[in-house]
Amino acid sequence: MELGSDPRLVVVINSQLRQPNSYKKARVKLMEISPGVKMLYLDYQGAIVHPILVWDEDMAILIDTGFPGQFEELRAEIEKAGVSFDQLRGVILTHQDVDHIGSLPEILQERGNAVTVCAHELDQPYIQGKRPLLKDGQLENPPKGRVDMTLMDGQEMPWCGGIQVIHTPGHTPGHISLYLKNSKLLVAGDSMYSINGVIQGIHPPTTPDMEAARLSLHKYKELDLQSVVCYHGGLSHAHVHDQIVKLCEE
Ligand SMILES: [Zn+2]
Closest CA to 180 of 197, 200, 157: 157
Any domain includes 1: no
Neighbours of 96 (CB within 10 A): 29
Domain that includes residue 74, residue range: 7-249
At residue 14 the predicted structure's pLDDT band, cuts being 50, 70 and 90, is very low
pLDDT tens-digit readout, 49-108: 999 999 999 999 999 999 999 999 999 999 999 999 999 999 999 999 999 999 999 999
Model pLDDT, residue 53? 97
The CATH number that applies at residue 197 is 3.60.15.10
Any domain includes 122: yes
Ligand 1 center from residue 74 Cα (angstroms): 16
Closest CA to 179 of 37, 60, 44, 19: 37
Ligand 1 center from residue 29 Cα (angstroms): 19
Ligand 1 center from residue 171 Cα (angstroms): 9
Mean pLDDT of the chain: 90
Any domain includes 127: yes
Ligand 1 center from residue 66 Cα (angstroms): 9
Cβ neighbors of 21 (< 8 A, separation 6 or more) are none
Ligand 1 center from residue 159 Cα (angstroms): 24
Ligand 1 center from residue 42 Cα (angstroms): 12
Model pLDDT, residue 18? 53
At residue 29 the predicted structure's pLDDT band, cuts being 50, 70 and 90, is low
Cβ neighbors of 237 (< 8 A, separation 6 or more) are 197, 226, 227, 228
At residue 30 the predicted structure's pLDDT band, cuts being 50, 70 and 90, is low
pLDDT tens-digit readout, 221-242: 999 999 999 999 999 999 999 9
Ligand 1 center from residue 100 Cα (angstroms): 6
Domain count, the chain: 1
Model pLDDT, residue 15? 45
Any domain includes 2: no
- Please return the burial class of 35, using the count of CB atoms within 10 Å of its CB with bins 0-12, 13-18 and 19+: exposed
What is the SS3 assignment for the chain? Answer: CCCCCCHHHHHHHHHCCCCCHHHHHHCCCCEEEECCEEECCEEECCEEECCEEEECCCCEEEECCCCCCCHHHHHHHHHHCCCCHHHEEEEECCCCCHHHHCCHHHHHHHHHHHCEEEEECCCHHHHCCCCCCCCCCCCCCCCCCCCCEEECCCCEECHHHCEEEEECCCCCCCCEEEEECCCCEEEEECCCEEECCEEEECCHHHCCCHHHHHHHHHHHHHCCCCEEEECCCEEECCCHHHHHHHHHHC
Any domain includes 155: yes
pLDDT tens-digit readout, 106-152: 999 999 999 999 999 999 999 999 999 999 888 889 999 999 999 99
Angle at 182 between CA 179 and CA 184, to 5 degrees: 50
Q: Name residue 37's beta-bridge partners.
A: 34, 54
Residues with CB in 5 Å of ion ligand 1: 97, 99, 190
At residue 2 the predicted structure's pLDDT band, cuts being 50, 70 and 90, is very low
Distance between CA atoms of residues 238 and 97, nearest Å:
28
Q: 5 pLDDT exceeds 90?
A: no
Ligand 1 center from residue 65 Cα (angstroms): 10
